[in-house]
Amino acid sequence: MKYIRIFFLLLFPLAAHATDTLSVQQCRSLAAQNHPLVTKNALAASMYDLYSDNIDANYLPRISFSGQASWQTDVFKLPFDNPIFPIIDIPKDQYKISADVSQKIWDGGYDKHHRAQREIERDIAMAQTAVDIYAVRETVTDLFFRVLLLQESEQTLNLSLAELDRRFKQTDAQVNEGVALRSAADQLRIQILKTRQQASGIQSDRQALLNILALWIGREDTDFVLKMPKSDPPDLGMAPMAPIVRPEHQLFDLQKQNLQVSADGLNLLLRPRFDAFAQGGFGQPNPLNPFETGFEPYFMIGVRALWTPINWGKQNREREILSLQSRNIDAQRDAFNLRIEAALRKDHFEAQKMMQQSQLDKEIIVLQEDILKRSDAQVQNGVMTTTDYLTQVDLLTNARLNGIFHQLQYEHARQLLLAKTLAND
């Protein structure tokens, strides 16, 4: 039992580091989750919270302190002398310190409007982040299929190497028996070396692109393989386009909502605002009674109102500007939809073309595999030369590589259709 436990403890790390298999959807999702711009959403939410706290603070009393020392060339005095009581001289040097307190009573809805503005600005910032990250989907999709093409091509070359190795062993045995020429074995060896050279180059390119893909999806290692997308049987006809759900549309909607909030705020310009105030302090002379020339206390309370009923047409002009900005956003939306529609049509027809090519590739591969089987028998019987046999091997290898290329091009175009139309897949 002791050795069994040790065996499983040694086996567990190997299982924990098993190679992952990632689909194109998983790669797109990981790239979006690990993109640095994701932090902008948290920053926008934090800024909104701070703005909201500042707006709440507007309902608290505002307290300010002030002080003033001045000297003036003239002061108020009576133009006559009074023999009954002396007339107090007001000093030309005057001092005042005071505390002012004001409390908002009604602001005409300005704070509510400002809160709505800050909220829509937060949503716009988050929508813009979604738009910026959404562009990563196409980049990761392109990179995914470039790596997948190299991955599948490498496997195809490995199949050819297995066929060539088998044929070489048979030929080498015949050479040792004196039945075949050494040149025939050398030709097979040369072809094996060329195929390995090609596979090695593809492996290096795949590893380089795999490192780039790992960077995009937030992986520190490249210990993963890519999974061929599974698709339903395609329709050769012009299938209806999938409904377009893009973050850009949400951004356009929020931008128009922001203009509407601004338009609603124009109505607040004609509303009055009221607040209560109190002021108290010490002055020399007393600011409320200049004939008290000592450092005297004073206090005053009241209610203030501010109203600007006439703005000389500014409100109407601002409303017209907002209307023009709204039409500008509509034009941007139409231009965006046109651009996406053109790209979707291109990808749709590209998928159709590649699907047709892929179907023909399957027929070519079946025929070429049958030819290679007959060629193998003919070489063994001495009817076909090794050179002709290698030609058939090349034809089969190229047919398989073309089949992989066209199949992945079809899947690539199909995934681009999804990436350009759906917000999530």
pLDDT value for 119: 94
φ/ψ of 140, rounded to 5, equals -70, -35
What percent of the chain has pLDDT above 90?
41
CATH number of residue 253's parent domain: 1.20.1600.10
φ/ψ of 63, rounded to 5, equals -120, 130
Decide if 281 contacts 97 (C-beta within 8 A).
yes
d(CA 402, CA 354): 11
pLDDT value for 425: 54
Which residue type, as a one-letter code, is found at position 256?
Answer: K
Decide if 415 contacts 141 (C-beta within 8 A).
yes
pLDDT value for 13: 43
* 73 lies in some domain: no
Q: How many domains does the chain have?
A: 1
Rg (CA), the chain: 41
* 280 lies in some domain: yes
* 32 lies in some domain: yes
pLDDT value for 3: 40
* 86 lies in some domain: no
* 15 lies in some domain: no
d(CA 198, CA 131): 40
pLDDT value for 416: 80
pLDDT value for 168: 87
φ/ψ of 327, rounded to 5, equals -65, -35
Q: Are strands 62-71 and 296-306 parallel, antiparallel or unpaired?
A: unpaired
pLDDT value for 153: 92
* Bridge partners of residue 377, in order along the sequence: none
Where is 280: in which H helix or E strand?
strand 273-284
* 80 lies in some domain: no
d(CA 144, CA 225): 10
3-state helix, strand, coil in the chain (%, to 5): 65, 15, 20
Domain range for residue 250? 28-68+93-232+239-421
Closest CA to 281 of 292, 267, 294, 295: 295
Q: How far, CA to CA in Å, does 280 sit from each of 64, 67, 99, 285, 298?
A: 11, 12, 5, 14, 6
Where is 288: in which H helix or E strand?
none
Which residues in the chain land under pLDDT 50? 1-18, 233-240
pLDDT value for 8: 38
* 78 lies in some domain: no
Decide if 24 contacts 141 (C-beta within 8 A).
yes
pTM: 0.77
Decide if 369 contacts 398 (C-beta within 8 A).
no
Q: Are strands 296-306 and 273-284 parallel, antiparallel or unpaired?
A: antiparallel
pLDDT value for 325: 94
d(CA 150, CA 208): 11
Closest CA to 282 of 95, 150, 104: 95
Q: How far, CA to CA in Å, does 52 sit from each of 109, 120, 259?
A: 15, 12, 20
d(CA 59, CA 55): 8
d(CA 86, CA 151): 109
CB atoms within 10 A of CB 230: 7
Which residues have CB under 8 Å from 267's CB, separation 6+?
none
* 174 lies in some domain: yes
